Amino acid sequence: MGALGQFWQIITHEPLALPRRLLEIEKDLRYGAMLEETFVYQQYYPMLKDIRPNTVVIDIGAFMGETAIYFAQNPNVKKVIALEPMPSTYEMGKKVLAKANPEIRERIDYRMEMVGSENKSVPVSADKVGWGDAKVGNDDKSDNTLNVRMRTLDSITKGIKERIALKIDCEGYEGDVLRNADLKNVYAVIVESSKENKPIILKKMKVSGFRQQGGLAYGVPYYFKKG
């Protein structure tokens, strides 16, 4: 069984009888690769296995909800707040999540929001499919530009009393997400980082009391936890 079949069985508890049931997104090899990263190669497993009871996972760069579904399988997860800024990707993600098993779906709060350094509305430009290559700011070459809400991480975590774990994959904006964030109630962070943002992330994690657990090579998520 390929990554798509595994993913489909996880979210529906049904065999994948008709590939087109998943809205034809299985035809795009890039999405298949993302499913393999999550469900076959288990790149987020280091954090999944450390999830403590009554945890809220904040999934920044949630794409079509596959990582939110991955974390929501863990019975220790109370809720996943899944944030995806790309309008076209978000719409497809809603359709994927609508097919999910209700026990998983009810624990996922999927929102079209960007996380960054300010609370404001920003123009987001992307291609028509939106495979993780979002651009912030006006782009005359794009015919798919919409204003999307940007929020700081602190504005999202405010009021959350439960323990928090962060997954971050936001195409080069991870430094903006973490630089000024208050990580007092966060105990685990797994983040995909560009080379440019690596020093920012390592410094932020150190001063916030995290220890690096893994992710020594470019392209492999960095994993940090407290204690």
pLDDT by 10s per residue, the chain, length 227: 455 555 656 555 554 443 444 444 444 445 566 777 887 778 899 999 999 999 999 999 998 899 999 999 899 999 999 999 888 888 888 988 888 888 889 999 999 999 999 999 988 765 544 445 555 555 445 566 778 899 999 999 999 999 999 999 987 889 999 999 999 999 999 999 888 889 999 999 999 999 999 765 555 789 999 97
| Whole-Å CA distances, 41 to 3, 170, 213 | 10, 20, 17
Domains and CATH numbers, the chain: 3-226 (3.40.50.150)
Cα–Cα distance measured from residue 116 to residue 111, given in angstroms and rounded to the nearest whole number = 15
Model pTM score? 0.84
pLDDT for the residue 16:
41
Coil, helix or strand for 81? Answer: strand
pLDDT for the residue 101:
84
Give the Cβ contact number of residue 133 at 10 Å. 12
Chain-centroid distance, C-alpha 2:
22
